[in-house]
Amino acid sequence: MNRRGIINRKPVVIPFSSRLREGRALAQDVWSIFNAANLPPDCLNLGQGYMNFAPPKWITAAAEDALNTVGPNHYSHPKGRPRLRNAIKQFYGPQLNRDLDVESEILVTSGANEGQYSVFTAFLEHGDEVIMFEPFFDQYLPSVTFNGGKPVYIPLHPPSHDIPKPTSNDWTIDFEELRAAITPRTKMIIVNTPHNPVGKVFTRAELEKIAALAEEFNLLVMSDEVYDCLVFDNKEHVRIATLPGMWERTVTVGSAGKSFAATGWRVGWLIGPASIITPTLAASTRIIFCTNSPLQEAAAAGLEQAPLRRFFETQLKEYQERRDVFVNAFDRLGVTYTLPEGTYFVLMDSSSVKFPDDYPFPKSVLGRGRDFRACWFIAMEIGVSSIPVSEFYCEEHVSIGENYIRFSFCKDLDTLRAAGERLQNLKKYLV
C-alpha cells in the first residue's frame, strides 16, 4: 500500500493463445505494411485484390430492393436464403453434373473465407495435417492452426529461367514430393484453382493425380474456386468434384465478391455432399449464425440474370483486356513475368530490380524476403504498389517466393495504363 492508501497492483497480463503465434496472426501482416496510409498519396494501388469499379447496376438495384423489403433485413436461415441457394443450384448444378439438393448440399457463408474456416472447424482434430500448395492464400494458415490443424507445405515450382515467356502453367507440382508429404495424420488437401497469386489453372491431368492420392489416402479436398469465372485463353476450368469418386470427398468454394466485383459484401458458398455440408453448417451456425441477408438477395439476382445478360462472358473479355494491357507494360520494360491463365493477379520477377543498399526502408520490411524491399522501393520511387509473394510461403521456403511480387489488374483500364507508364521508370533500376 502506498502513502495514499492505494494498493499497488501488478499490471494484469493474461496470456494469449499460442495459436495466434502459430498462425502468424501476431506478425505485422503484409496488408498493414502496404496499405494506403503507409504509401505516397498518389501511389496507384495494384497490391490488394479489390476493384476500383462498382458491381453492375442491375445487381446493386437488387440490393436496394432487398433493403426496402421487410424480410431481407432480418435473420436468414443459417443455410442461406432459399432464393440464393436455388440460384446456386441452377447455376452450378450443370457445371458439377448434379441435381443439387438445396437443403443438404449448398451452404451460404459469410464470404468464402468464413466458409473455409467452418470446414476446418467441422473436420479437423488437433494435430491433423492439411496440405496446401505454396504460395498459398494467406488466410489458410491461421484458419488451419486456429482449429488445431498442422499445415504441410508443397511448393509450386517456379518456371525455369530459360523459359523466355513463362505462363502460370509453368509453375509445376512435384507429385513425388506431394505423395511423400502424406502421413497417417493427413486429413485434408487444399486445391486453389484458378490459383491466387500465381494465376495457375490446374490442368485436368494434375487434378486427376491429386484426386488419385485423395482416394488412396482417404483425404478431404477443399477446392477453392473463387476465381472460377476468370479463366483466360480458352483454358479449361476443371472442377475436381466432377472427377470419378471425388464428389463424396470434395467441398467446392465459391464467392459472390469475386464474381460480381463486390468483395465487401462477404457472401460466399460451399457446395458438396451432405456428409460435408451438414457438419460444416453446424460449425458455421455457431460462428456467425447467418450471412448478410439483403446482399444474399442481390447475389441471387446476379446468378439468376447472368446467363441472359451474358455477364460472365462479357466480364471475362474485359478482364482479359485488362490483363493484356497491363502485361504489355512488362513487355516494354523488359522484365520477366508469369502470364496468368486465371484470376486477376500477375507475378513479376523482381530479381532484376536493383535498389540502393542504404535506401531508407522502414523496419517493417527489413529482415523479411527481398521482395518486401522491392515492393516498398517500387511503391515509393515509381508510385505503383504491389504485394511481396514471400508472405505466402512458410519460413523454410521464403527463398522460393522472394523473387516475385504480385500486381492486381482488377482495376479500370485508365488506372492500368497509368500504372504501366509509371513502371517504365523502373528501367534505370534494372540490372
Q: What is the pLDDT of residue 323?
A: 98
Q: Which three cell numbers stand for residue 59?
A: 445487381
Task: Using pLDDT thresholds of 50, 70 and 90, give the confidence band for residue 8.
Answer: low
Residues in the chain: 431
Q: What is the pLDDT of residue 50?
A: 85
The DSSP secondary-structure symbol of 225 reads -
Q: What is the pLDDT of residue 89?
A: 98
Residues 174-232: pLDDT tens digits? Answer: 999 999 999 999 999 999 999 999 999 999 999 999 999 999 999 999 999 999 999 99
Q: Is the pLDDT of residue 9 over 80?
A: no
Instruction: Write the CB contacts of 166 (distance below 8 Å, at least 6 apart in sequence).
Output: 159, 336, 337, 338, 339
Give the CATH architecture of domain 57-309: 3-Layer(aba) Sandwich (3.40)
Task: Using pLDDT thresholds of 50, 70 and 90, give the confidence band for residue 29.
Answer: confident
Q: What is the pLDDT of residue 17?
A: 82
Task: Using pLDDT thresholds of 50, 70 and 90, give the confidence band for residue 48.
Answer: confident
Domain boundaries, the chain: 18-54+312-429, 57-309
Phi, psi values for residue 130, rounded to 5°: -125, 120
Radius of gyration of the chain (CA): 23
Q: Which three cell numbers stand for residue 360?
A: 531508407
Contact between 140 and 22 (Cβ < 8 Å): no
Residues 341-386: pLDDT tens digits? Answer: 999 999 999 999 999 989 999 999 998 999 999 999 999 999 999 9
Q: Which three cell numbers stand for residue 308?
A: 441472359
> Over the range 152-182, which residues count as b (16 or more CB within 10 Å of their CB) and which as e?
bbbbbebbeeeeeebbbbbbebeeeebeebb
Q: Is the pLDDT of residue 1 over 60?
A: no
Q: What is the pLDDT of residue 5?
A: 57
Residues 51-106: pLDDT tens digits? Answer: 999 999 999 999 999 999 999 999 999 999 999 999 999 999 999 999 999 999 99
Closest Cα to residue 392, out of 215, 195, 179? 195
Q: What is the pLDDT of residue 97?
A: 96
- Residue 404: helix, strand or coil by DSSP? strand
The DSSP secondary-structure symbol of 398 reads H
CA–CA distances in Å: residue 412 to residues 46, 330, 331, 379, 418 = 11, 18, 20, 19, 10
Instruction: Write the CB contacts of 100 (distance below 8 Å, at least 6 apart in sequence).
Output: 88, 89, 92, 93, 106, 271
CATH 3.40.190.290 correct for 18-54+312-429:
no
Secondary structure of the chain: what % helix, strand, coil (to 5)? Answer: 45, 15, 40
Task: Using pLDDT thresholds of 50, 70 and 90, give the confidence band for residue 161.
Answer: confident
